[in-house]
Structure 1
């Protein structure tokens, strides 16, 4: 079932969403000082490409002060706008029965798009998927 949902997701927006995150990662890496956000964008692009069967957890060891400050900057510069875009897209997808799981996947992308630093994407089938601690 996860594979079917991932294929439907890929066709109805996942590919474009992943390409957007990938391009943002390239721009961030090209600007040198924003490389941490570029790496996070690449990680989110992979998650946006194939979201069903995976989840986002905190990295082991917790997040440090640098990650927290980086996430605050990210929220102010881009995170809030990306989250609003995910909410708007989720509402549009939820208007159809077949789009409801896709809307839920879009909502699952909001936390990592708001605060990408200090997060890790893991398969949900593993015992540590719910919590990394």
Structure 2
């Protein structure tokens, strides 16, 4: 991780990143408790780590990383994302958007607001995403 990414990640944690990562972790724990939600829990834990340290990383479709389609990127992944959207995705995306609006009020917060907007999109459709170094 570059020194700039490290500095941005430290500021990110102080300006709302910790709370949103905690939201992702809570969603993952709730999904894991249900047993049926284990596929969503895995994706949620992965994105919770990404939400904690977003600078220097990016989310890409898993099929671009592996070069082939799998369960999470095919029709079952689509169904999984729809279920996720109904039960957890909308409130995580809402949390990211509210935080983005609050951060966008200041000039210093604009890069962090943009990162929250990108995470809101991931919150709506997380299955089939892979976190890779930027």
Deviation of residue 88 (structure 1)?
1.6
SS in 2 for 1:117: coil
What do the CA deviations read for 1:100-130 (whole angstroms, capped 9, x no partner)? 1110110110222111111101111xxxxxx
Q: Does 1:51 align with 2:60?
A: no
Alignment partners' CA distance in 1, 2:95 and 2:18: 16
Q: Does 1:91 align with 2:115?
A: no
Deviation sequence 1:25-77 (CA, Å, 0-9, x none): 11111110011111111011001100011111101223111110010111122
Structure 2 stretches of 5 or more lacking a match? none
* Contiguous gaps of at least 5 residues in structure 1: 125-133
**What residue is the counterpart of 2:85 in the other structure?**
75
Structure 1 residue 123 corresponds to structure 2 residue 133: yes
Runs of 4 or more above 3 Å deviation: none
The answer on whether the counterparts of 2:20 and 2:95 sit within 8 Å (CA) in structure 1 is no
Q: Does 1:38 align with 2:48?
A: no
Question: What TM-score, normalized by structure 2, do the two folds share?
Answer: 0.87
Greater mean deviation of Cα atoms: 39-48 or 14-23: 14-23
Aligned equivalents of 2:88 and 2:7: distance in 1? Answer: 31
CA RMSD of aligned residues (A): 1.2
Q: Which deviates further from its counterpart, 79-88 or 49-58?
A: 79-88
Q: Please state how far the C-alpha of 1:78 moved relative to its aligned partner.
A: 2.2
- Aligned residue pairs: how many? 124
Greater fraction helix: 2
Look up the SS of the partner of 2:40 in the other structure. helix
Q: 2:16 aligns with which of 9, 13, 25?
A: 13
